[in-house]
Amino acid sequence: MKRIGIDVGGTNTDAVLIDGEKVISAIKFPTTADVMQGVVNAIGHVVSSQAPGASPVDAVMIGTTHFTNAVVERARLERVAAIRIAMPAGASLPPMIDWPDELRDAVDPLSFMVHGGHEYDGRPLVPLARDEIRDAAMKIRDAGVDSIGITALFSPLTAECELEAAEIIRSVIPSARITLSHTLGRIGLLERENVTLLNAALQGLGRKTIDAFKDALLRAGIDAPFYLTQNDGTVVLADVAAANPVYSFASGPTNSMRGAAFLTGLKEAMVIDVGGTTSDIGCLVGGFPREANNVVEVGGVRTLFRMPDLLPMALGGGTIIDPETRKIGPRSVGYRITEKALVFGGDTLTTTDVAVAAGLVEIGDRDRVKHLDKAMVADLLKRIEAMVEDGVDRMKTSAEGVQLIAVGGGAFLIPEKLKGAREVLRVEHAGVANALGAAMAQVSGEVDQVFSDMSRDNAIAEADRIARRRAVEAGADPNSIVTLDTEDIPIAYLPGDARRVRVRVVGDIAFMKEEEKRAADGMR
């Protein structure tokens, strides 16, 4: 099956075309001000490398930083309404209490706290105040707000309050885009509410982004289903991703990690992805990124949901160096490296200039950096080495040396030998590992909830069934689905033999057969 993988980064847009596991072509373009035109250009290049009469592309996988950038930049966010079902217990800290002021101002929230929710043991806290929800819905409608986040106390134990509230709101606002917290986050109320409201604020951008990618694919002459990559290194149908944009926050680094696993065949290793602006260090466990089990901040907002365990570093190919103090970063020239870096005729000293001066890579005009003091270049390389070693040490879970896979356009900055790493691996196509990771990604389904009044085996079986259903809804072939990991934790303080069960499954993309495509075309 032919697939195109695209990763849209802040500095470069990478694209690859693969047939099965064979890489047919790859390209790295500077990200353009018009992001979609850059996507069209990248697709055009990899497709043009095919022989005349080649079979069409079966699917396109895209990784994008659109959503996390919107949160970080406080831009392109919709006004949201927050409904918290937790009164009277949850009155002390209102919604978005811990958000940065400028981000809270950007979403200009309407907040409502109503009576309802459940206790930690699954009993109702107080009866759900349906009239309060209906009144809130009418005020939201009158304010012209369409994006709504609903969070109920202990809803991962039982989602009754959130589901009923959503029905009431839809009866008042049929066009409402509603995010329910139990579908995204874990038990902690504030963190779960935070990710719910971030998702609600991004749903409009999610729809616009998906539509823009569809248009870009049509302009590039591609008529195939397309998917967006997610935080866990898998993909989901674009229309499904539009409803849950928060699941694509960290898709860039996870794409690179999956690409590293694909290129090396390793399932257990550490990966450093060196881009133009930053580097991300993560760990492969079973061929997938290790998940974070603690609070993860996104744009200054505390969240607790499915995110990879990553260590970002202000080190990239475009990182600016102060020649006086020899301070490296944190600022970067980003996608303007071809204008600003010394080797391209610019006036800014970057890490790429240092690497070229040291003979580590051939980029631009080496004569433009021959004036750099050799002692300074050697000292800067030592400083870069120390930064990487510190990052590797912080991500390790044991004192043993690890295999470190260096990928990304700036991988030339990673030394051949590092303390704490028994081997530094470099592979062909490492510069476009992110696009490769997108192209060969599978589809996942996950469930993380509490089950009660059933045996352990039945609870795990039910969780597995739900996870498989979600994978199929996201675009997986039901016959290819396998269980990736299962975890169950008995909860002693809950009645009915309650236990928290987490199941994650993955499967291959469900490609339409030729006869199915013709039938679908005939129905259009």
pLDDT digits over 7-50, tens only? 887 677 889 999 888 889 998 877 767 778 888 888 888 888 77
Is the pLDDT at 96 greater than 50, yes or no?
yes
Q: DSSP state, 292?
A: P
Contacts by 207-214, CB closer than 8 A, 24 or more apart: 207/242, 209/64, 209/66, 209/67, 209/242, 209/245, 210/238, 210/239, 210/241, 210/242, 212/36, 213/36, 213/39, 213/62, 213/64, 213/238, 214/238
Pairing of strands 279-285, 269-274: antiparallel
- Return d(Cα 162, Cα 442) in angstroms, integer: 31
- Return d(Cα 309, Cα 122) in angstroms, integer: 31
Half-sphere exposure of 340 (CA within 13 A, CB side): 19
- Return d(Cα 367, Cα 428) in angstroms, integer: 27
Digit-coded pLDDT (tens) for 363-378: 999 999 999 999 999 9
Digit-coded pLDDT (tens) for 98-154: 999 999 999 999 999 999 999 877 789 999 999 999 999 999 999 999 999 999 998
Report yes or no: 288 and 258 within 8 Å, Cβ to Cβ: yes
Closest C-alpha among 270, 284, 264, 278 to residue 393: 270
Report yes or no: 314 and 285 within 8 Å, Cβ to Cβ: no
Distance, CA of 78 to chain centre: 20
Q: Which residue has the tokens 């505390």?
A: 302
Report yes or no: 60 and 217 within 8 Å, Cβ to Cβ: yes
End-to-end C-alpha distance for the chain, whole angstroms: 24
Report the chain's mean pLDDT, rounded to a whole number. 88
Pairing of strands 59-64, 226-229: parallel
Rounded to two decimals, what is the model's pTM? 0.82
Which pLDDT value is given to residue 232?
83
Digit-coded pLDDT (tens) for 198-255: 999 999 999 998 998 888 888 888 888 889 998 888 888 888 888 999 988 888 788 8
Closest C-alpha among 168, 133, 162, 167 to residue 150: 162
Is the pLDDT at 513 greater than 80, yes or no?
no
Please name the residues in contact with 424: beta carbons below 8 A apart, sequence gap of 6 or more: 404, 406, 414, 415, 416, 417, 418
- Return d(Cα 46, Cα 60) in angstroms, integer: 12
Is the pLDDT at 522 greater than 70, yes or no?
no
Report yes or no: 250 and 310 within 8 Å, Cβ to Cβ: yes
Report yes or no: 284 and 261 within 8 Å, Cβ to Cβ: yes
Is the pLDDT at 516 greater than 60, yes or no?
no
Tokens of 126: 């107080």
Is the pLDDT at 514 greater than 60, yes or no?
no
Q: What is the residue-wise DSSP string for 405-425?
A: EEESTTGGGS-S-BTTEEEEE
